[in-house]
Amino acid sequence: MGYDVKIFEALHKAGGVLVYGIPEFRLPKERVVQEEIENVKSLGVEIETDCVIGKSTTIDALMTEEGYDAVFVGSGAGLPRFMHIPGEQAMGVFSANEYLTRSNLMGAFSSKSRTPIMHAKKAVIVGGGNVAMDAARTALRLGAETHIVYRRSEKELPARAEEVEHAKQEGIIFNLLTNPVEIHADEKGWVKSITCIRMGLGEPDESGRRRPVEIPGSEFEIECDCVIMSLGTSPNPLISSTTKGLEINRRKCIVANEENGQTSKEGVFAGGDAVTGAATVILAMGAGKAAAKGIDEYLSNK
Ligand SMILES: Cc1cc2nc3c(=O)[nH]c(=O)nc-3n(C[C@H](O)[C@H](O)[C@H](O)COP(=O)(O)OP(=O)(O)OC[C@H]3O[C@@H](n4cnc5c(N)ncnc54)[C@H](O)[C@@H]3O)c2cc1C
């Protein structure tokens, strides 16, 4: 549409979750993602990496001091949730985000990497979504006997059926109707096992899925040297807390108009996971296009 556009990216590489979250075996980085990034650059878009909005600079500063007429926030939902159970601070416990980012973005699967990752003998992945399947299949490729621990039954697994199928075909072991209660560490502070409890299913909860209920006295231990928490993510509050007048909802997502991405702050638009919470690539791309039209309309009317 003829505007000068610049992208500010916190990490050293552009591409978001497509680069640091989704593993190479599901989405080839050079052949698919990098090609898309080169397309964007060839349109004349400038990309500045290693720039954390909210720390390196702020949206308010971009608009008042650096001459930007409009801003689009597409900062995703990268803040991992934890269970807050005893032992979760032990070494060898990761969030799925950290585990996948180390492996995908930092090349930590290779012993030559400057940030190598532990090659676990036996890994427990807690959670049943697509991210859990990616973390499990990555741990498997790094040589671990890999277990998924999920508190509901197979019917309620939030991951897509084909992801579950691929995980099973590759030999991931599913411990369903099972929930962790405590992680145990050895004398040096490294994970050595996880205590879990068997679950039954009660009445449906507010999500419509049957509520998991603990079966008293059914605790048992799984020996393992790595635990990967994959319990969902929410938007990082850094941008909302450093931008005056940017409304967020109770899930910490930026409130934006679905049609054009307009937020509560004039000239600031938003879309993707930062608005919806963790969702899909196609929704995020659609929101970007809708916001581009919204920004064009806003600037044309100004
Ligand atoms: C492991 C995994 C597997 C997935 N698999 C699929 C799948 O198979 N299919 C599918 O459709 N979806 C999948 N998703 C979801 C999908 O990747 C996301 O919905 C999508 O990437 C959201 O795009 P986005 O642009 O909103 O955010 P992101 O892709 O998260 O990009 C946000 C970018 O903003 C940057 N950023 C954050 N904060 C700041 C800041 N303060 N300053 C500057 N930059 C910042 C981040 O570094 C990141 O590069 C998966 C997600 C994960 C984690």
Output the domain CATH number for residue 222.
3.50.50.60
The ligand 1 atom at the shortest distance from the C-alpha of residue 8 is: 43
Q: In this structure, what DSSP letter does residue 156 have?
A: G
Distance between CA atoms of residues 29 and 106, nearest Å? 13
Distance between CA atoms of residues 26 and 207, nearest Å? 29
CA nearest neighbour of 59 among 48, 49, 71: 71
206 found inside a domain? yes
The ligand 1 atom at the shortest distance from the C-alpha of residue 55 is: 41
122 and 222 inside one domain: yes
219 found inside a domain? yes
Quick: pLDDT tens for 41-66. Answer: 999 999 999 999 999 999 999 999 99
Domain boundary residue, one of 212, 231, 250? 231
Containing 270, the helix (H) or strand (E) segment is strand 268-270
Structural domain tally of the chain? 2
Distance between CA atoms of residues 243 and 238, nearest Å? 9
Distance between CA atoms of residues 122 and 225, nearest Å? 6
Q: Which of 6, 8, 12, 17, when mutated, tests ligand 1's pocket best, judged by the most ligand atoms within 8 Å of its CB?
A: 17
**What mean pLDDT comes out for the span 29-47?**
96
The token duo for 285 is 């791309």
Q: Kindly report each contact of residues 34-41 with a partner whose C-beta sits within 8 Å and lies 24 or more positions away, as own/partner.
A: 40/7
Instruction: Provide the residue range defining the domain that includes 207.
Output: 82-231
Statement: residue 141 has pLDDT above 90: yes
220 and 201 inside one domain: yes
205 and 270 inside one domain: no
1 found inside a domain? no
288 and 174 inside one domain: no
269 and 197 inside one domain: no
215 and 271 inside one domain: no
Domain boundary residue, one of 204, 231, 258? 231
Q: Distance from the CA of 75 to the center of ligand 1, in angstroms?
A: 8
182 and 121 inside one domain: yes
135 found inside a domain? yes
Torsion 100-104-110-111 (CA) sign: negative
> Which band of pLDDT confidence, cut at 50, 70 and 90, is reported for residue 146?
very high
Q: Are 200 and 153 in contact (CB under 8 A)?
A: no
212 and 267 inside one domain: no
Residue 61 CB neighbour total at 10 angstroms: 13
Quick: pLDDT tens for 247-299. Answer: 999 999 999 999 999 999 999 999 999 999 999 999 999 999 999 999 999 99
121 found inside a domain? yes
Q: Is the CB of 126 under 6 A from ligand 1?
A: no
Amino acid symbol at 296: D
Domain boundary residue, one of 231, 259, 281? 231
pLDDT at 55: 97
Q: Is the CB of 75 under 6 A from ligand 1?
A: yes
Statement: residue 185 has pLDDT above 90: yes
Q: In this structure, what DSSP letter does residue 57 have?
A: B
69 and 133 inside one domain: no
Phi and psi based region of residue 132 (left: phi greater than 0; alpha: psi -120 to 50; beta: remaining): alpha
Statement: residue 124 has pLDDT above 90: yes
92 and 217 inside one domain: yes
